[in-house]
Amino acid sequence: MATPHFGSDNVSGIASEILEAITSANGGGVGSYGGDGLTDSLTARFAEVFETEVSVLPVGTGTIANCLAVSFITPPWGAVYCHHDAHIMVDEANGPEFFSGGAKLADLPGDHGRLDVATVREAATAFPVDDLHHPMRAALSITQATEWGNIYSVPQVQALGDLCTELDMVFHMDGARFANAVAALGCSPAEVTWKAGIDVMSFGATKNGCMAVEALVVFGEKRKEFVKLQRLHKRAGQLFSKMRFFSAQLEAYLANDNWITWAAHANTQAKRLSQGVAAVDGVKLLHPVEANEIFLSMPIAVYDAMAATGFGLYPISPSGDGHGSIRLVTSFNSDPADVDTLVAAAQGA
């Protein structure tokens, strides 16, 4: 039996509904490369979720979703503004630059992983658009929820969306934990995406109960260029011959609001875990807990007590004063009893 793990939501298993969907899709022979019926129906399903017409492509990983999104929205001579902790900046092994043919990622500061209008405006208007000696501003990318587990409110996304419209930039959202953000905000997916100016998003599912699937979702005017994204998708090796098994996962993920229910559970357990551990002397929250990630500074003795439970944890990063920093992450299937066991260990230290 797998050990309960609080180091990442990537290590959690697959929701039973997803496994059932894969099994159900396994019967008989159907068209390949998306000609299976299920893949075509995804467009209608996503349109229902987002309350507008969309174009959708399933992909295998979050990395390729982000890389294809960047290559779709940015010419090789363009600049994509992002947070300096963004996955496209530090965790994709230069993939966005590779797939875009050389586009520049311009990283910017911001509290808790969020960018604000003033910071983006200053960077995006630093050089005249027709100055051939500098990258041309092309796009803005934000992460929802951020790399530090924090969330852009609807007005914050809208303000950045208005800026993109003003400066003629394409607006991308890395939604690896988009479900957790929507569950926390209590808004509709539409309100915090296309209604707020998002043109293209990387829609995450793997971290929240799926086996291995994400989606690229395109809104509004960018849908007119969808054939370009389809070509990029094929060239990147993402047009899987047995696409039905990817599409089946996304269909089951969105059905009956499963994705929101599972994310809300993860968020709830993160609150439960963070409140219990943060109450221990010497433990300090490094960022507000708004989704399912918790960042803490704690005495190493507290970490050792938590690790002694046998649960999977990321190694602590010592700070040299008997303390260290650690990330804890809850998942769609985190057991409240395991959360309480981890809290009790911390408090017992």
Looking at residue 37, which CATH number applies to its domain?
3.40.640.10
Distance CA 296, CA 165 (A): 37
Residue 196: inside a domain:
yes
Burial 169-205 (b: 16+ CB within 10 A, else e): bbbbbbbbbbbbbbbbbebebebbbbbbbbbbbbbbb
> What pLDDT was estimated at residue 310?
94
- Check whether residue 97 and residue 233 sit in a common domain: yes
- Check whether residue 81 and residue 30 sit in a common domain: yes
> What pLDDT was estimated at residue 301?
96
Looking at residue 321, which CATH number applies to its domain?
3.90.1150.10
- Check whether residue 292 and residue 253 sit in a common domain: no
Provide the residue range defining the domain that includes 148: 14-257
Residue 104: inside a domain:
yes
Q: How many Cβ atoms sit within 10 Å of the Cβ of residue 237? A: 10
Indicate the DSSP class of residue 242. Answer: T
- Check whether residue 267 and residue 144 sit in a common domain: no
What are residue 302's phi and psi, to 5 degrees? -70, -45
Of 231, 257, 283, at which residue does a domain stop? 257
Residue 275: inside a domain:
yes
Of 194, 229, 257, at which residue does a domain stop? 257
Report the candidate in 35, 92, 74 with the shortest Cα–Cα distance to residue 232: 74
Residue 3: inside a domain:
no
Amino acid letter, 163: L
Residue 2: inside a domain:
no
Report the candidate in 313, 271, 312 with the shortest Cα–Cα distance to residue 291: 271
Of 257, 278, 294, at which residue does a domain stop? 257
Residue 91: inside a domain:
yes
Grouping H, G, I as helix, E, B as strand and the rest as coil, residue 306 is: helix
Residue 7: inside a domain:
no
> What pLDDT was estimated at residue 344?
97
- Check whether residue 73 and residue 139 sit in a common domain: yes
> What pLDDT was estimated at residue 3?
79
- Check whether residue 235 and residue 307 sit in a common domain: no
- Check whether residue 247 and residue 342 sit in a common domain: no
- Check whether residue 19 and residue 91 sit in a common domain: yes
- Check whether residue 176 and residue 239 sit in a common domain: yes
Distance CA 103, CA 192 (A): 27
- Check whether residue 196 and residue 234 sit in a common domain: yes
> What pLDDT was estimated at residue 130?
86
- Check whether residue 169 and residue 309 sit in a common domain: no
Residue 5: inside a domain:
no
Which of the residues in the chain have pLDDT under 50? Answer: none
> What pLDDT was estimated at residue 22?
97
Beta pairing class for 323-329 and 170-175:
unpaired
Token reading at 62: 């979050």
The total domain count for the chain is 2
- Check whether residue 243 and residue 219 sit in a common domain: yes
Q: How many Cβ atoms sit within 10 Å of the Cβ of residue 40? A: 13
